[in-house]
Structure 1
């Protein structure tokens, strides 16, 4: 059985370009890429006949919502996440673990905002923070080389 498509998440990093915020990632979840459906039905669209269902017609918006990242990271109260200028998104880069035999790791690079964050501090436990990052525009998927 081949493991060629198996990747381990250890080594993930995130860096914010302008604010300089970096964090060690404990977990990450991407909301996914979404495209809107645009209804194209009109007064002349045929109604369903006997033994038919549906009838409404749609096209898919060619633009995609690049989604958001939900991250849990180590929290350092001396270096908390910084607010992003609401009028000027900053470059955000996620770096994946470098695969064996590759000179450079895969990366996900785009612009976005730190939408929200909160910290969790418990007795006898490491401090963590949860970050929500909203991407805007195009994301560059840079393959490991």
Structure 2
């Protein structure tokens, strides 16, 4: 198998994986990064949302070869040391989490949304994930936007 080299959460990594292996499985199974979750595998649910060169993307449908030399950030790399990102703080303050399974993907999608716009509409927030109409998610994203 070919070596795949890219940066994840600020660290350069090299893994032995087929070019077409979805990055989600590289992150979870080869690198032990558990934040991005498998939900649908077809780029719909957003449970695996991470950032590629600062933009939201879904590693469940992204071949590992396509991230060669690029920078991937997962929920594990979002905080600045012990200081949480404002979206993570807002998630806690608004008590957003239900079961918690897709929270990492929701937070990463929300961060990407707030990078694009500081005043997201309810319709834009609804695209964060399939739970996008959940009232606390909307409140947390708007609270984070006010702080950023």
Superposed pair shares fold, TM > 0.5: no
TM-score by length of 1: 0.23
Which protein is bigger by CA-based radius of gyration?
1
Query: In proportion to residue count, which structure has more helix?
Result: 2
